[in-house]
Structure 1
């Protein structure tokens, strides 16, 4: 849709308080947003936090989408309004079986409600998954020991790995509606953004770790493998993800396609550590594989330290265990692969967005400070 089109663009963002949800809200409300002007509705399980730009939402809906009856009751009346669904929600569990069950239930409930009437307006669904598509369910303690990832750089046309993966189930649900609407699937890598409501927020996890080290005068040590310290990895700036999702939802040739979504550059964890030390005023400590440092064990009793940091700095109230994901991060920095995607398909279809990963770390830490999530 182009500017001036008489057909309204009405977006429903499910998972609106997560890193990408917040950024999507801001991006859709930009004056020159593709497909605009947009009316934006947002769904979250809880009330909006004080740091959320609530004035940008035209409607906020508190809803647990696991509840079929409530989802039907609340969203069905909106099915004659909503034109675009942006699915950036995630129910994170240690078991992939639970991931499949809960995430599939949520998406099925929402799609059922939004297509419940003959005059439903839903025309496009944006599904956010990730590069676990190419690696497998690394959060499942049993399955993760059996994984054989694809060869990097990861490409969108790689076949599905022969392991349970809730991404596959979400895709299949979308495919089952192929005659009802178009879709786009987006596969970011490590997402860099600002929220205290995201299940897998690596930047906030590393920030909390850095601040605890600074508060207690501990060295800020890398806890991965030597391989990862010096080999390449990729990240995805939340602004870039939002840009790609809006582009795909409003660009005809991008419909019914899957796209990787990474910044287009690469980093090593060594270079990331240097930036984090600079941002938080810490002394850089070179990785020593003889150290055998276990960060998950180190941080498991640091909740009270984080509580003091929050209290001393008048921050938005958070609990360390709710805003960090040390277990998952520990898994990622110990993978013996270069976590790198090909962005060729996006470029061939006309999307040329990119971001500087190390510079974006500085930008997003500052944003987290402005939101009073970090000191």
Structure 2
């Protein structure tokens, strides 16, 4: 049976030793791989070899041919997105984007959070796209399949370059992140927000720092994300909170407390998403459960099946974000009663697309200008 099927083999359920600072506890086979490899004890390993090896993050440079991604999913509130990176060092075990690494012949497990790709020409490609006569402005969601403010952004500054282009063109942008690094770009986001061109959301799964440390090991702590909400709000940037994912018996008990803390910090709108386990995310998540919460692993998966029609995951657009059945309905009621009591909005702030102006053409190279001045053309 393949590692990404609805019922993973029993071997995948066995507890594994977590790797400090990483979410996944192993590399599962990607669904496009033809070969499968399994480790076994041949008796030669020394006792000190039992500790998992330290994983070093590797970043490869990618020169993107296109930079905007379009979707027509009826349950997603945006049509266009931009991802400055592939993979994400935050290492969130539940990340729905993990299976995309299989397209690169890499594992959606540890590879997804340690073998990253930086699209260093993202700002250049964006500028080219916005300059096309056929381009029609619509809000760009920045950081969807990857967190645009993950740790490597401090060095590569690709997100910063993208925002500079959007700022120059008065183009609306919506950001979602788990990182306080977003505060770095307030100088761009605040004036854009004043013109209804920017909105941000912070994802907070739980207020329990110990759970967060294993669930999303390299993201900012919950308290630091709350401080980022307050800082952005004070700068005049509309901020929301995304309580996602809600994991039964793990983060679900914190649902109301997260909403209360985010509202106190200044968040003005809120949403939630029930845990999704598409493709390889299911075996990875089950491994994580066995490693960190063996006492409740079976209860968690049974509750997930209760909310997914007996399966661990159902991809139907009508229910994949919320689930179905009595438990899903109870979660929905809890969220909306708390959000209504706290005065949250559910609709995203409407951003203004009418102010968009295409980027200016790049200045001519000195040699080209010299030929233009003397009237002499050039073949080169």
Q: TM-score, normalised by structure 2?
A: 0.31
Q: TM-score, normalised by structure 1?
A: 0.31
